[in-house]
Chain A
Amino acid sequence: MVYCIGHSIISPLGEGSLANLEAVRTGRSGLRMYDHRFADVEPFCASLFDEPQAFVPLCIRSVEMAVNEQSMLSSKDTVFILSTTKGDNLDLWTPAQTIAEHFGNPNPPVVVSNACTSGVCAQITAKRLLEAGLYKYAVVVGCDIQTRFIVSGFQSFKALSPEPCQPFSPERKGLNLGEAAATIVYTSNPQPTGWRLVAGSIHNDANHLSAPSRTGEGAYRCLTDVMTGVKPTDIDLLGVHGTATLYNDAMEQTAIERAGLQQVPISALKPFFGHTMGAAGVVETILCMLQAEQSFVKMLSGFGGVNAAIRMLCE
């Protein structure tokens, strides 16, 4: 088990985890139409920063907001783990190295690039590296910036909703893209109180490159793995991927029902943030913790055959 000792979110909805929580609580969404943001690209609905952000400075600000202790960031006991799909203009390694060097960290960073689930997978990687005793602290940064490259590709897939997305709605028309940077810090040093990452699991559907299996096999196996030793009634909140594509949500619903979790309240945050890709798993983990603490859940209504799940516990 590893312990969460800090977090932050920077998104078009606000600076800091609490500002983003407040936006969600009051029902404020970052989604709007963009007409001429990128050359040649048809109008699309997304959640983007008003001022285009540079990848590395955005990540650095997110880390600074999550961590008070500079000495921890520069320690040989700390590893930086970057979760991203397209990085800084298609370069994934250099930004990770630049961020780690900025904080004077001596260790080679690790970049996790598992499509939509990267942010959850990066936390599972953090847990493993800490539990193996390789490091005492892991700084997990999730970030993606929307580009002409990404938006044109999703448009070519016909995966984008022309309006704000509606996860799990029979009327859902696809996903919206979004931008964010989020950081979550874990340590293997036991903490008396607070959130801890108890279990994590990653499974592949082995079904199709860009469509989930009808039985939700990968997601189902992830859920049963992380539910080992606990009952569905022990779970207070289920954070879902909920991209609002036809197939993702159908698959996820099947997996949730197969795991016996259909009575658990769910948190589906894409109607606020869009799909923030490499940041999504980190943003959504942080907001699930905060929503569970404050006992409220907002649900206004995928791509990839890889599925991942984690279970968090608060003492």
Chain B
Amino acid sequence: MRVSQEIEITPTSVILNGTPIAVSETDSKMLVELYRRYVGDYPKFFKMDTLSRLGFIGAEMMLKQSDTSSQVSAVILANHSASIKNDNDYLATISEGNYYPSPALFVYTLPNIVTGEIAIRHHIQGETSFYILDKPEQLKPIVEATLNAKYSSLNCVLAGWCECSKADTYYAKLQIIWNN
């Protein structure tokens, strides 16, 4: 396996391929700042929950720089707390005595939605998978087994950890990984 791109995003920092990116905002506002700087023309971004915004921005920044989006054939992400932040936001719309379930929030109450957002944006019709694991390092053998699977023609995957447990508590470490 060969890693050609890597991005790490925390609420106070962004590091793309080892180089820190200057940001003026922090927390969820930082993701909006990155969107305005690197994307700007995809208003659906504002409908997304924080988990999806995080994965979307990470994918965007890596793929924009390397122009490999047409070669990425799978998106394999993982985290520890699934879609809990958005689950809690949806729960707030069905509290007893104030019951107005929001379909716009319910659609994001699955962790794998972020993989779908990335696939839609970059027209990736290969595999999308989401795993819930104890620790980030547990994803590596799964990605390896996926790349080496029989009947698999996967050569290049976008994979990594994409976690958001509360509004301003998030962490992503994503990579573009090649099979050779």
For B106, list chain A residues within 8 Å (CB): 152-153, 156-157
Chain A 119-135 interface 0/1 with B at a Cβ cutoff of 8 Å (1 = within)? 00100010111011010
Which residues of chain A come closer than 8 Å to B82, judged between CB atoms?
A: 87, 90-93, 113
| Prevailing SS type, chain A contact patch | mixed
Quick check: is B91 within 8 A (CB to CB) of the other chain?
yes
* Interchain nearest-CB distance for B80 vs A (Å): 6
Chain B residue at minimum C-beta to C-beta distance from A124: B149
Question: In the complex the two chains form, what is the Cα distance from A203 to B74 in whole Å?
Answer: 8
Proximity bits, A126-150, B CB within 8 Å = 1, else 0: 0111011010000000000000110
- A208 CA to B44 CA, complexed, in Å: 12
Q: Quick check: A210 and B107 within 8 Å, CB to CB?
A: yes
| CB-contacts of B140-167 with A (<8 A) | 141-142, 144-146, 148-151
Decide: A128 near B138, CB < 8 A? Known: A39-B96, A153-B106, A209-B113: no
Q: How many residues of A contact B (CB 8 A)?
A: 54
Contact across chains for B103 and A202 when beta carbons are under 8 A apart = no
Q: Is A111 interfacial (CB 8 A cutoff)?
A: yes
Asked if A204 and B127 sit within 8 Å, CB to CB, the answer is: yes
B103 touching A204, Cβ below 8 Å: no
Q: How far is the CA of A204 from the CA of B121 in the complex (A)?
A: 12
Task: Let me know if A110 and B125 touch, CB within 8 A.
Answer: no
A93-B80 CB under 8 A given contacts A128-B149, A129-B142, A204-B124? yes
Instruction: List residues 192-219 of chain A with CB under 8 A from any CB of chain B.
Output: 199-210, 217-218
Contact with B along A2-31 (1 / 0, CB 8 A): 000000000000000000000000000000
Known contacts A131-B145, A132-B141, A201-B151; A209/B120 CB under 8 A: yes
How far does the alpha carbon of A131 sit from the alpha carbon of B149 in the complex, in Å? 7
Bitwise, B119-134 to A at CB < 8 A (1) or not (0) is 1101111111111111
Asked whether, in the complex, the Cβ of A156 is within 8 Å of the Cβ of B130, the reply is no
Q: A110-B133, A148-B94, A149-B94 are in contact. Are A129 and B145 (CB under 8 A)?
A: yes
Nearest CB in chain A: distance from B180 CB, A: 17
How many residues of B are in contact with the other chain, CB < 8 A? 50
Please measure, in the bound complex, the distance between the C-alpha atom of A162 and the C-alpha atom of B106, giving whole angstroms: 20
Residue A228 CB within 8 A of the other chain: yes
Bound together, the chains give a CA A108 to CA B78 distance in angstroms of: 14
B94 touches A152 (CB 8 A): yes
A39-B96, A113-B110, A204-B127 known; A149 vs B134 contact (CB < 8 Å):
no
Closest 8 interchain pairs by CB?
A111-B132, A153-B106, A132-B145, A156-B101, A128-B145, A40-B99, A156-B103, A202-B127
Binding site for B on A (CB under 8 A): 39-40, 85-87, 90-93, 96-97, 108, 110-115, 121, 125, 127-129, 131-132, 134, 148-149, 152-153, 155-157, 199-210, 217-218, 221, 225-226, 228, 304-306
> Can you sample 29 A-B contacts with CB below 8 Å?
A40-B96, A90-B87, A93-B134, A97-B134, A108-B135, A108-B138, A112-B131, A113-B131, A121-B129, A125-B142, A128-B145, A131-B145, A131-B149, A131-B150, A149-B94, A153-B90, A156-B106, A200-B151, A201-B127, A201-B151, A203-B126, A204-B75, A204-B115, A204-B119, A206-B122, A207-B120, A218-B125, A304-B112, A305-B119
